[in-house]
Amino acid sequence: MNIDWQLIGISFITVFLAEIGDKSQLAAIALGGSSNNLRAVFIGSTVALILASFLGILAGGAVAQFLPEKLLKSFAAIGFAIMALRILWVGGAEEE
């Protein structure tokens, strides 16, 4: 088995940067601040992130069977651009 270290690095950097300041990190901060068992909070949030990533990878793999890679990358780029513009103009705050 050949390990693609470049892909591992790109995946790590992309997910790490995407997760900074998101709702799951804020939830972990809140749980960590209100709990005496930080290890349990760490394990629970880590397993949740792993499961969410795994489901995303499965979905991406399934979609990749039907759509060309260039189209998938284009959809991802457009999606990220829309999210960035929304954050810039709306401020990222959702009205409830």
Residues 19-76 pLDDT 10s: 877 788 888 899 999 999 999 999 999 999 999 999 989 998 898 899 998 998 898 8
Identify the pLDDT of residue 41: 94
Residue 96, pLDDT > 50, answer no
The per-residue pLDDT for 72 is 86
DSSP state letters, the chain: ----HHHHHHHHHHHHHHHTTSHHHHHHHHHHHT-S-HHHHHHHHHHHHHHHHHHHHHHHHHHHTTS-HHHHHHHHHHHHHHHHHHHHHH-SPPP-
Name 60's Cβ contacts closer than 8 Å, sequence gap at least 6. Answer: 72
- Give domain limits for the chain: 5-65, 68-96
